[in-house]
Structure 1
Amino acid sequence: MESWKSHVRAELFHRDCRQRDPFSGLFDKVSRLEEMLTFHMKLRDTISKDNGSSRCPDEGGTLYLRVNELEFLNQQLKEKISDLTSNVYLKEAELQYCHSQVVRYRTEAVVLAQGASSLKAELDEYGYQLECQSKELTALRLEHSSLREELTAANLQNEQLLDRWLEEKKEEAERINKYNATQERWQRLAGRLRKRHRVRSRAACADDKPTDTKTQRPPS
């Protein structure tokens, strides 16, 4: 609703401007005519007051009125020229100020353009470095993936080797245990054999002693 009111208000303003512009020249003319009428009335009053003492060269006072009107117009022209001169000086000062501002803005624009150029160069350099780092990161990721795969394979191989080594150690321990058991059996058997051999040796020695004494006894 507010946008509709704003649209209607803008259209009415444009309509008033269009209707007022054709009559702006007439308003100026009416204003100038009012000024001239006021001047003529004052001049007539002055002439009527001076009629008793001095008489104008022409009876109707037309020439006197015309001269005063020209003087009035000349005075207005001088005032306009003075105003225009002041406006010219003012506009010239404004123009110089604008020119100085243009020069300053142009210098700032050149500095900003140089800064933008250097920033663009730095941005291109950073973009190139980022691209190189991205490629290096991709290569490192591929290498990391391959190393991870190799590590997984190495761990699997290590586990297999460890299992094989444990199995071999287990078999070796079983062989050692069997060997130790065999050695113990042989040692027990050798001990028994040595014990039997000692028993038999003692028995044989006991059997041989009486015969020896009998043979060595002297005859009677």
Structure 2
Amino acid sequence: MGSWKNHVRTRLQHRDQTEKVPYTGVYTRLSQVEERFEIRKEILEEVHCKSLDKGGVEVGRHTRLLHLQLRESEHLAEKLSQTVSDLTSVLYLKEAELQYWQSRVSHYRQEALSLAKDTHTLKATLSEYEFTLECQSKELAALHTEQKKLKEALAEALEAKEGLLQRWMKEKREEADRMNEYNHTQERWQRLITQLKKHLRKEIGKHQVSTVTSVTKETTPSEGQ
């Protein structure tokens, strides 16, 4: 808020340096001239009265000199009056300018107050955001910790799964080996049974042939008798 105050102060000082300071002695000079004018006016009246009473060339000469000095004073008074009028106009303008700058200062003050209020609101909002960010950071850290634990648990589960899979595959291989061995045994038993059946059929056939031959031999002599 000090920046705009310094700016206005600097502008006013610059205005005083350029417009007010050069005319500081005018009013003093005007007062001195008016005083001289009054004095000369009194002297002229006094001389005029004496010239009427006494008469004379020297008195008339002094009267003309004073008259000239009076005209000079009147001329200077007119110039000073015009200068005062100009200064008065300038003063009115400066007063209007001062009012303008005062209104601008008031406007800037209101704007500064509004900005200060907005800044206070933004600070409060920023504090809320910082608090929310801090909470979210803590939650994120907790989630990272939980994620790390879950990754470790997942790695252990995958390792356990791999172990179970290896054991299951080993068991399946062993079971397949047992089944293959059982099937091989069954095949050997089937071949053995088949061979035994063939051998049995051969023995039965031989026995039947032997029996028929015996019966035939026994029957043939009895028919001859």
For the aligned pair, the TM-score class normalised by the smaller chain equals: 0.5 to 0.7
Amino acid at match of 2:190: Q
Question: Which letter does structure 1 place at the counterpart of 2:100?
Answer: Y
Instruction: Output one character per residue of 1:110-166: Cα deviation in whole Å (capped at 9) or x when no partner.
Output: 332233233323322332332232222222222222122122112211111111111
Structure-2 separation of matches of 1:170 and 1:202: 47
| Change in 2 beyond 3 A, CA 1:105/1:56 | farther
User: Could you tell me how far 1:206 is from its partner in structure 2?
Assistant: 1.2
CA gap of 1:180–1:56, structure 2 versus 1, over 3 A, is farther
What displacement does 1:190 show? 1.5
- Quote the residue 1:97 is aligned against: 100
Any residues of structure 2 matched to 1:25-174 within 5 Å, and which?
59-61=61-63, 63-64=66-67, 67-68=70-71, 70-72=73-75, 74-174=77-177
**Aligned residue number for residue 14 of structure 1:** none
Q: What amino acid is aligned across from residue 201 of structure 2 in structure 1?
A: R
- Secondary structure at 2:179 match in 1: helix
Residue type of the partner of 1:123?
L
Instruction: Give the match's secondary structure for 2:62.
Output: coil
Aligned counterpart for 1:198 among listed residues 201, 205, 208: 201
Kindly provide the amino acid, as one letter, of the partner of residue 62 in structure 2: G
Change (3 A) 1:91 1:56: farther
Stretch moving more, 118-127 or 143-152: 118-127
Structure 1 stretches of 5 or more lacking a match? 1-27, 37-54
Call closer, same or farther: CA 1:118–1:56 in 2, change over 3 Å.
farther
Measured against aligned partners, the alpha-carbon deviations of 1:30-71 in whole angstroms (never above 9, x if no partner) come to: xx8xxx9xxxxxxxxxxxxxxxxxx78554346435644553
Query: Aligned residue for 1:44?
Result: none
Cα RMSD, aligned residues only: 3.1
**Cα distance 1:176–1:59, how it changes in 2: closer, same or farther (>3 A)?**
same
The aligned counterpart of 2:20 is none
Distance in 2 (CA, whole Å) between partners of 1:135 and 1:85 is 72
Higher mean displacement: 130-139 or 155-164: 130-139
2:188 is aligned, of 185, 189, 204, to: 185
Q: CA separation in 1, counterparts of 2:58 and 2:128?
A: 94
Q: Provide TM-score, normalisation by structure 2.
A: 0.62
Task: Tell me the TM-score normalized by structure 1.
Answer: 0.64
Of 187-196 and 117-126, the range deviating more from structure 2: 117-126
Secondary structure in structure 2 of the residue aligned to 1:60: helix
Where is the helix percentage greater, Structure 1 or Structure 2?
Answer: 2
The equivalent residue for 1:48 is none
Identity of matched residues, %: 46
| Alignment: residue pair count | 170
C-alpha distance 200-136 of structure 1, shift in aligned 2 (>3 A): same
User: Using the alignment, how far apart are the partners of 2:155 and 2:129 within structure 1?
Assistant: 37
* Residue 97 (structure 1) shift: 0.7
Letter matched to residue 87 of structure 1: V
Supply the AA of the counterpart residue of 1:207: S
**Residue matched to 1:212:** 215
- Matched letter for residue 150 of structure 1: A
- Alpha-carbon distance between aligned partners in 1 of 2:86 and 2:116, rounded to the nearest angstrom: 43
